[in-house]
Amino acid sequence: MCIRDRCDYVVVTLPLTPRTRHLFDESLFQTMRPNAYVVNVGRGPVIDEQALIKALQRGWIAGAGLDVFEKEPLPEDSPLWGMQNVILTPHVSGMTTQYDERAVDLFVANLRRYLAGETLFNVVDRDAGY
């Protein structure tokens, strides 16, 4: 696996499923390079936040960029707020200047498909969990 001692940056975009919850745990952080950074723009609970805090405090990894958290909004008493090696954003990584236009285009396309009895785009697979 690339994460273990070979990657400088790991960008997490995983959905939250029973298999991915706390996938990034203490044992995984201990195998990472000390100059590695974790960026989570997927789902907060994919990372065990207490394990991440420990990894950052002990220097197992160099830093983190977090757009999502185990509990949102991030609690005021979270140590992540004061860490110099952490960048926090307010769950807006998906926002772009084209977001609204693309969302309207997708809605219109799906409305047409729905009215025609066709399969919709981006349907959630309830069995997979995303």
Distances (CA, A) of 70 to 5, 23, 127: 25, 13, 22
> Which of 4, 72, 113, 118 is flagged as catalytic?
72
CB-based contact 58:83 (threshold 8 Å) = no
Q: Which residue has the tokens 């830093």?
A: 63
Of 92, 65, 94, 93, the C-alpha closest to 80 is: 65
- Determine whether 22 is an active site residue: no
Active-site residues, by number, are 43, 72, 91
